[in-house]
Structure 1
Amino acid sequence: MLSVSSAGTTSRQSRFPSDSAAGAGIKEAESRSRQRQQEAEVTPDQDLPQSHSTKNMKSARRGEAGDAGSDLSEQIKAATKENHIRAENTQLMLSYQKGHITTTQYKVLLCSLYEVYKALEEELDSNASHPAVAPIYFPQELARLDSLQRDLEHFFGPDWSGKVIVPAATHRYTQRLREIGKENPELLVAHAYTRYLGDLSGGQVLGKLTQKSLGLRDREGISFFSFPGVSSPNRFKQLYRSRMNSIELTERQRAAVLEEAVSAFEYNIQVFDDLQKMLSVTTETQRDASGFPSSPIMQFTAGVCVALVTVGTGIYFL
């Protein structure tokens, strides 16, 4: 079961500057970023998800070595290119992109997204003054938790927190976010970047596909895709990248952030795959459960089906 968290969002203040201030901030950040020397290749001392291949790790290190220039945002983009493609080509995401998303698929996706953003945003809040987090901390403009709560209530009702179920991959993802929030807050930069900028980019397309596929009116149930605090997504993304590129990191920290960005995509891929398996299992169970009404296993699985709304992911990012 999930618990609702207010996380103090009502008292958050906007940190999104005016057009002139944003332009000055961007120029200043870009000037600092150009002065950086190309980072040397180092091997970070952190573990990656077991599903990471040697190829993925080499990809991150190529970006870390500066193949994409000295800007952290460009290095992350280069390091995660292959992982990004893999995430977009999971079965769940392919169905989504084709407009074949069902209410059931969307609902289980919302459940996992809620857990992920709850962990991410609580850790960002706790580390708001950290030198690596402060430049990219925009709770008023980017926070997704309240929006996800509204969407879950729309589909599950006011007692939604007692009905949702998430796969093991989602728990692994949130555990990682909690871990780095306490031990290595600078690594939160990788997860915030891949999640939020993905939401502001491809996520906007997915929002329109969701509304059309599910026949939703007045954007009810798709608050997750709306950013009322961001008047210009493109301008905001430019500002966000410049702020991120201005973060001062040691060579080892930068290497670790690049590896963590690869990890972020891998965690998301695992979540998508687990959600697809969950949907496949519940679909199969719906065909057979009526023959085993007294079986505890069948009752539990049938309960999962009900929680997903008997017939019955969101993405992230990226």
Structure 2
Amino acid sequence: MPPVRATAPQRGPGDPDVPLSRRLREATLDLHVQVERSVFMRALLRGTLPRIGHLLLMRNLHALYAALEAGLQRIADDVRLAPFAQPALRREAALAADLHAVHGPRWRDELALTPAMADYVVHLQRLSQAGAQRLIAHAYVRYLGDLAGGQRLRAVVARAQALPPGQGLAFYDFGDAAEVAALARALRAALDALGRDRPVDDIVDEARAAFCRHDAVFAELADLVEAGLRATER
């Protein structure tokens, strides 16, 4: 009879020995798919989002990044958390430049925040005051998304919005392909190191909540776009 070989136990996303980057990816996969299938995101990915939708998206993302990056800056001196606050990742200034280029100098006053985004901003500010760890979940959702799917979106947005070369796309610019890959690797490595260091169930829970908040924002953006289009048809 051949010897019986022991098999390694199956590890799921809730197993603390699973790297945090994998836990986050697996724990949020269903919500990630749900968000990508939303009406607003389908239009963005297909290149059919009208200009006002693109502007409203950038305006709302600017508010998100302003709150997130202010909170992350508070942890920049913590060596374990500093990779999430590095200047190469920051998007607030890039979005402000894009909004100025595509809409004009009064974009803050003329483009609306959705109620869901206003609530999201308050939530991020509260997290920043209460402690930085849960903010990492929002950095994960945004930055790794920007470094992956966001890079594919760059060409779609440029074509769909007929943007002049070099204008309105600073948000998507993290450098060349090698720099983008290096930033993504560094973030995953920082997540995994964090997961070896301390309990991180709260980060996983918060990442799922972040996707739910994005879904709510995109639903409200879709409603705003539809209302705007109906108004122009009258």
TM-score by length of 2: 0.88
By how many angstroms is 1:229 displaced?
A: 8.2
Q: Which residue of 1 aligns with 2:14?
A: 64
Unmatched 5+ stretches in structure 1: 1-37, 39-61, 289-318
The one-letter code sitting in structure 1 at the alignment partner of 2:85 is: Y
Matching of residue 196 in structure 1 with residue 146 in structure 2: no
Counterpart of 2:57 (choices 81, 102, 109) is 109
Distance 1:155 1:99 in 2: 17
The one-letter code sitting in structure 2 at the alignment partner of 1:284 is: R
Distance 1:184 1:63 in 2: 24
Unmatched 5+ stretches in structure 2: 1-8
- Asked whether the 8 Å contact 2:35–2:214 carries over to 1, the reply is yes
Task: Detail structure 1 runs of 4+ shifted over 6 Å in the superposition.
Answer: none
Q: Which residue of 1 aligns with 2:223?
A: 277
Q: Which residue of 2 aligns with 1:259?
A: 205
The one-letter code sitting in structure 2 at the alignment partner of 1:63 is: P
Q: What is the correspondence of 1:5-20 to structure 2 with a 5 Å cutoff? A: none
Q: What is the correspondence of 1:241-260 to structure 2 with a 5 Å cutoff? A: 241-247=188-194, 249-251=197-199, 254-260=200-206
Matching of residue 75 in structure 1 with residue 3 in structure 2: no
Matching of residue 90 in structure 1 with residue 48 in structure 2: no
Question: Is 69-78 or 127-136 further displaced after alignment?
Answer: 127-136
Distance 1:282 1:127 in 2: 40
Matching of residue 100 in structure 1 with residue 45 in structure 2: no
More helix by share: 2
The one-letter code sitting in structure 2 at the alignment partner of 1:219 is: G
Q: What is the correspondence of 1:62-211 to structure 2 with a 5 Å cutoff? A: 63-66=13-16, 69-130=17-78, 132-139=80-87, 141-211=88-158
Q: Which residue of 2 aligns with 1:213?
A: 160
The one-letter code sitting in structure 2 at the alignment partner of 1:201 is: A
TM-score by length of 1: 0.66
By how many angstroms is 1:65 displaced?
A: 3.1
Deviations 1:123-143 (A, max 9, x none): 11122224652243212x111
Distance 1:194 1:246 in 2: 17
Q: C-alpha root-mean-square deviation of aligned residues, in Å? A: 2.1
